[in-house]
A and B are shown apart, each in its own frame.
Chain A
Amino acid sequence: MEDGIVLAMRGICKSFPGVKALNNVDFTLRKGEIHALMGENGAGKSTLIKVLTGVYEKDAGSIEIEGYPGEVHIHSPQQAQNIGISTVYQEITLCPNLTVAENMFIGRTNDTVVHWKEYEKRATEILDNLGIPARAKQELSRCSLAVQQMVAIARAVDMNCKVLILDEPTSSLDDKEVAMLFQLMRDLRARGVGIIFVTHFLEQVYEVSDRITVLRNGELVGEYAVDKLPQVELVAKMIGKSLDDLAELEQIGRHDSTHEDVVYEATDLSSAECRPFDFQIHKGEVNGFTGLLGSGRSESVRAIFGADQVTGGKVKINGRDVRISNPHDAMKNGIGYLPEDRKRDGIIADLSVRENIILALQTIQGMNRPIPRAKAEAFADEYIEALQIKTASQDTPIKSLSGGNQQKVILARWLLTHPQYLILDEPTRGIDVGTKLEIQKLVLKLAEEGMSITFISSEIEEMLRTCSRLIVMRDRKIVGELSGDELTQAQVMKTIAGGEEER
């Protein structure tokens, strides 16, 4: 193996029944580099990582690791760890009720007697060394998510690791926390650790990475130095087409719908989770709620859908007074809601793609009118085709689909009910660029056809591209409403940060 290379994967192949997940993929990681692994959902990033960490066994190909002559065969995550490959996953896999030190050392020693004193001392050293703002004796749950993430990394790094895999480490962190994490990554790079960075945030790739490997449909597209690959080209390589699509999206643009009828109107609506607010949406309008995490934007739409206990307020649908006190009421009134947390609130993991698609329509129809099997199959086929959901079959459990495809299934579920008002809370979170674009396009198309849509996203750009009106929230209150020329990133930021008072 060449000097300076810590990990060389060559010609890796891996198939699952009906899917070729990896086809002849090469991946090279050098000492002291941050190497971004990019690709759409289903491109094979996770599979490659899982092959590397011994979760899956590869069908073909070789893996070489610095310090181990010849090929290594990795059969289990434990073994991967022993030869210096550590992984920190998106979801933090530590125990929140234990202390930082306990978390760093639990399960790592074979000693019969546990020397917590000594561990605490060592933990403190490591934390200081890496500049992680946590104390060894602190309970982990009292640390912020970013610090928890960093503790997980500290644990990984301390296990004599050569290859550190960070799988979507930033998806639940805010900007400041991301900056902290990046600093830690740079420090580790300086110490010679090779870092594989998997993320969906393009800007972050350009902020910290040295090199990018792009995968598409299980195949290697190429390996590039960051400064040689402009962001637009990266996106083009990931989705495998030029950026005409994005341009097309700009062209569809937003259209003014304020002269149309009001579809949904709420006055003083409040729920157990949010303060009273007024809100209305027109036919064919796309609006958005924006604000920082925790500003109450999700809580507001949950109140609209009756997802939280509604405590007061008046609601009119098409000018008619209605009572919406639970999701079923909302659905009966033609409202659909794609929840923010897909895993927790969206998918029914063990049910098939088909069952997940028809579920909402079924509950609207009622228990006594089951959707016949043939019809359900036809619906599933129709939407798998229309939204290009990648699944082995409609009988596949939804949990075995990639994140983006799961999201499409949930989207299909609501589209099948033909709602007049559809709420999409973070429909593009944690999914790849190509699918993001598809979803944005779909939103605009649906609005064109007359559907009213509320679109929430943490990425302001995305909202600016799709929404004709933005409602800005801070501290669980509506603090501004922007439309027309006010829809610029700067103006949104300014309103979020505070300045303007409520109209």
Chain B
Amino acid sequence: MKRKNKSTGALSQLLIPLVALGILIVFNLIRDISFFSIGMRVNNAGNIVLTGNLISIIDSASELAIISMGMTLVTAACGGQDISVGAVGAISGAVFVKIIQAMGGITPASVIAGFVVCCLATILFKLFNGTLVAVFRIQPMIATLILYSCGRSIAYWINGDATPQLNSPIINSIGMTIPGIPVPTPIFAVILVGLLLALLFRFTSLRIYTQAVGINEGAARLNGINPTRIKLISFILLGVCVSVAALIGVCRLGQLNHKTLLVDIEMDAILAVAIGGNNLGGGRFNLTGSILGAYIIQMLTTTLYAMNVAPVNVKAFKAIAIIIIVVAGSPVVKSRLANLFNRLRSGSAGGSPKKEGVN
């Protein structure tokens, strides 16, 4: 009974994103059933890979899904959003490439070293944001606005104006597929990050701490929680997410372009958090919701392209769909729906639910 209560609580948060996803799927089924066909082909590198819209949606939403998870945590703990993830992602990518070049070429060792260093660098930048937010109590949007506007300049200083090419099977394995495995690697990256976070929440009490700090920081402190530390942790985790996303972004294209790497991803990430039913004011959160949100956004884009909507118009159509989803998930609509549902149920049962329970 208690378990059931819990799952219904989580379900009600996931209801809107699940329904939105369901509608998108049904819409595509009706529109063109071949939208869902999955095939196999041999790619440029000579590997057998899965193809099809679904694979492409899940694959190309990977960076967004990963960053959305980190964004969810920062949102929950700090009650605000980090708008510098795209720009810091560009720095991340630049550091990654710089290290590989410094080590004289693409080898497994240089890629690993590159990732470790870029991960550390990203965490440092995120700690800078986190310190402004947690210690100096600057609103997250302002605290991250700084890096949002200068992050790509920093990326430029690291690598100059060049767009270095990375051509190597190792890079392809990270950004596309590993020979012998037909599923794109970024999908595994999402699963890995999700799994790591799930384990973190399973084996520490970080979830309840984060939620407590997000809901009532003062009370959390009086219960022995250090809010500053929890907020910094959320930024560190976001830093890890950003560096993984940057790694995928660079490897997917096989080149670094500091102007386009993860560009505008912050807005989509915030949107994914919101579509996932999370309160942007902080507090309770649900990572699954944010991941679903990311896939919904990507599916929407892919669907629109599949319908041959001109690229200029895609954003406008996307906006309309998103307004519908967000309004459907708003507290006002939710409570009206709940009322309607209750009335229908008590009407058909001919009495209040309580009575039934007693009898």
Contact = CB atoms under 8 A, between A and B. Distances in A.
B219 A364 contact: no
Given A59-B352, A337-B222, A370-B204, A347 B2 contact: no
Given A344-B219, A347-B216, A350-B283, A362 B208 contact: yes
B336 interface: no
Nearest to B203: A370
Interface in B207-226: 208-209, 211-212, 215-216, 218-226
Contacts of A364: 224
Contact of A347 (B202, B219, B284): B219
Interface string A284-313: 000000000000000000000101000000
B5 interface: yes
Nearest to B207: A370
B204 A345 contact: no
A432 interface: no
A436 to B, nearest CB: 23
A328 B224 contact: yes
B178 to A, nearest CB: 34
A377 B2 contact: yes
Given A17-B353, A355-B208, A346 B5 contact: no
Given A368-B204, A395-B9, A345 B219 contact: yes
Interface hub of A20, A307, A362 (most chain B Cβ within 10 A):
A362
A92 to B, nearest CB: 21
B205 interface: yes
A239 interface: no
A144 interface: no
A348 B209 contact: no
A367 B206 contact: yes
Nearest to A413: B223
Given A327-B222, A327-B223, A393 B2 contact: yes
A369 B206 CA distance: 10
A351 B215 CA distance: 8
A349 B222 CA distance: 15
A360 B223 contact: yes
A347 B206 CA distance: 18
A370 B2 CA distance: 19
Contacts of B223: 327, 331, 359-360, 363, 413
Contacts of A368: 203-204
Nearest to B216: A348
Contacts of A370: 202-205, 208
Contacts of A358: 208
Contacts of B218: 344-345
Nearest to A376: B208
Interface in A309-328: 326-328
Contacts, number: 97
Contacts of A349: 215-216
A393 B284 CA distance: 18
A367 B205 contact: yes
Interface in A356-410: 358-360, 362-365, 367-371, 377, 393-395
Contact of B220 (A17, A326, A344, A348): A348
A330 to B, nearest CB: 8
Interface hub of B203, B225, B226 (most chain A Cβ within 10 A):
B225
B283 A15 contact: no
Contacts of A337: 222
Contacts of A15: 352, 354
A350 B284 contact: yes
Nearest to A381: B2
A107 to B, nearest CB: 20
Interface in B251-294: 283-284
A351 B2 contact: no
A350 B212 CA distance: 9
Contacts of A347: 216, 219
Contacts of A363: 205, 209, 223-225
Contacts of A54: none
A175 B357 CA distance: 48
Nearest to B226: A328
Contacts of B208: 351, 355, 358-359, 362, 370
Nearest to B282: A350
Contact of B205 (A305, A332, A348, A371): A371
Nearest to A337: B222
A304 to B, nearest CB: 13
A339 interface: yes
Contact of B219 (A305, A346, A371): A346
A351 B279 CA distance: 13
A230 interface: no
Contacts of A360: 223-224
Contacts of B357: 18
A326 B223 CA distance: 10
A395 B209 contact: no
A255 B152 CA distance: 71
5 contacts: A345-B219, A346-B222, A350-B284, A363-B209, A370-B203
Given A344-B219, A346-B222, A347-B219, 13 more contacts: A15-B352, A326-B224, A327-B223, A328-B225, A337-B222, A339-B222, A349-B215, A349-B216, A350-B283, A359-B223, A363-B223, A364-B224, A393-B1
Interface of A: 15, 17-20, 59, 305, 307, 326-328, 331-332, 337, 339, 344-351, 355, 358-360, 362-365, 367-371, 377, 393-395, 413
Q: Can you list the 9 inter-chain pairs with the closest CB atoms, starting with the nearest?
A: A363-B224, A328-B224, A370-B205, A395-B5, A331-B224, A348-B212, A350-B215, A348-B215, A359-B223
